[in-house]
């Protein structure tokens, strides 16, 4: 006893929309709005499924959509939000007026992903490949780690070479202390030079770590407190050098035995756990302990992550706290 079907599947047209169909849909919605997608194709005289009409409208016909190329600032916003939300395209698109989730997704898959890989950054975790290799080194015994790192470096260099031969990059450009400026090419230049140093530094790091702290190399906890000895390395090669996204740890709840917060884990595993989830969970936990003032204090500390003055974001705090804007 469900609802009546939205359309007769066999009489439904599929594939590219014609300008006539676009006109029919646009003028119908202009007059009647988008309240009931099931009725829209029928009333507008279209042989389309309601779902198809909704998709066409939301992704293409809506008058408030931008159709041009993504700006550098938009691209940076996508990268930053993706590092927190993962593939939650609708959330990311909500921060970019005039862009749809489909736009953002397509742009990410066709451009941003490749750019990040070319910079030596893993687009899934947003960590530099060298940082990931350093993490691997903390989880494996030295012989295994060294072999894996060599292999990874080989793959990595092939990829960079491939990218370089396809898209010449201006190596003469400056690389300032703030490489992620408005011009993404500056950042690319910075990363290219950084990559040239990576091989030597990793090898150096391995031999130094194995010599100085054999217990660290043998540890099998990727993110325990000793693994944080890779912090300087990680920070040096972090995606955004001035932006310690994954380093924050709420003071009162940080368990020394297990200080990988659910949020920082989620960044690696790409679960849907967000900073806001973390904040709410933390608040509930502290309240359970009957410590209201501590709960409020932690909420304030965490809110600072989204403070416009914080180096973490250059987005309005309100927008980030309310991704559905």
Partner DNA sequence: AACGAGTCCAACCGCCTCTAG
Partner DNA sequence: GCTAGAGGCGGTTGGACTCGT
**What does the binding site for DNA look like in residue numbers (CB under 7 A)?**
1-7, 14-17, 36-38, 50-52, 54-56, 59-60, 67, 87-91, 101-103, 105-107, 109-111, 114, 166
- When the beta carbons of 7 and 282 are compared against DNA, the nearer one is 7
The residues, ordered by sequence, that sit 6+ positions from 131 with a Cβ below 8 Å of its Cβ are 230, 233, 234, 237, 238
- How far is residue 314's CA from residue 325's CA, in Å, rounded to a whole number? 17
Closest CB 108 distance from DNA, rounded Å: 8
Closest CB 43 distance from DNA, rounded Å: 13
- When the beta carbons of 5 and 214 are compared against DNA, the nearer one is 5
Long-range residue pairs from 182-190, CB within 8 A, at least 24 positions apart, any chain: 182/72, 182/73, 183/72, 184/72, 184/75, 184/76, 184/115, 187/119, 188/115, 188/118, 188/119
Closest CB 208 distance from DNA, rounded Å: 38
- When the beta carbons of 108 and 237 are compared against DNA, the nearer one is 108
Closest CB 110 distance from DNA, rounded Å: 3
Closest CB 18 distance from DNA, rounded Å: 9
- When the beta carbons of 67 and 256 are compared against DNA, the nearer one is 67
Of 317, 261, 273, whose CA–CA distance to 86 is shortest?
A: 273
Closest CB 301 distance from DNA, rounded Å: 28
Closest CB 58 distance from DNA, rounded Å: 7
- When the beta carbons of 36 and 182 are compared against DNA, the nearer one is 36
- When the beta carbons of 3 and 256 are compared against DNA, the nearer one is 3
- When the beta carbons of 91 and 160 are compared against DNA, the nearer one is 91
């Amino acid at each position: 006893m469900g609802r009546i079907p939205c359309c007769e599947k066999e009489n439904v047209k599929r594939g590219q929309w014609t300008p006539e169909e676009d006109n029919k849909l646009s003028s119908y919605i202009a007059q009647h709005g988008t309240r009931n997608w099931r009725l829209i194709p029928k009333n507008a005289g279209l042989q389309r499924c309601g779902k198809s009409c909704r998709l066409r409208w939301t992704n293409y016909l809506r008058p408030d959509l931008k159709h041009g190329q993504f700006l550098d600032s938009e691209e940076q916003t996508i990268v930053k939000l993706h590092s927190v939300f993962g593939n939650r395209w609708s959330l990311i698109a909500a921060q970019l007026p005039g862009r749809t989730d489909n736009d953002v997704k397509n742009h990410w898959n066709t451009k941003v992903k490749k750019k990040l890989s070319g910079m030596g950054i893993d687009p899934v975790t947003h960590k530099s490949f060298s940082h990931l290799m350093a993490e691997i080194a903390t989880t494996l015994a030295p012989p295994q780690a060294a072999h894996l790192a060599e292999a990874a470096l080989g793959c990595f260099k092939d990829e960079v070479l491939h990218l370089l031969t396809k898209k010449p990059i201006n190596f003469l450009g400056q690389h300032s202390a703030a490489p992620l400026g408005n011009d993404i090419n500056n950042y690319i230049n910075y990363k290219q030079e950084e990559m040239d140093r990576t091989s030597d530094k990793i090898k150096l790091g391995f031999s130094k770590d194995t010599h100085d702290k054999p217990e660290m190399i043998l540890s099998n906890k990727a993110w325990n407190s000793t693994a944080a000895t890779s912090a300087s390395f990680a920070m040096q090669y972090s995606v955004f050098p001035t932006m310690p996204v994954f380093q924050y740890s709420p003071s009162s709840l940080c368990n020394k035995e297990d200080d990988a917060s659910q949020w920082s884990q989620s960044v690696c595993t790409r679960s849907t756990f967000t900073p806001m989830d973390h904040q709410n969970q933390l608040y509930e936990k502290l309240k359970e302990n009957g410590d209201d003032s501590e709960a409020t204090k932690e909420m304030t500390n965490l809110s600072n992550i989204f403070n416009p003055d914080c180096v973490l974001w250059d987005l309005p705090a309100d927008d980030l706290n309310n991704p559905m804007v």
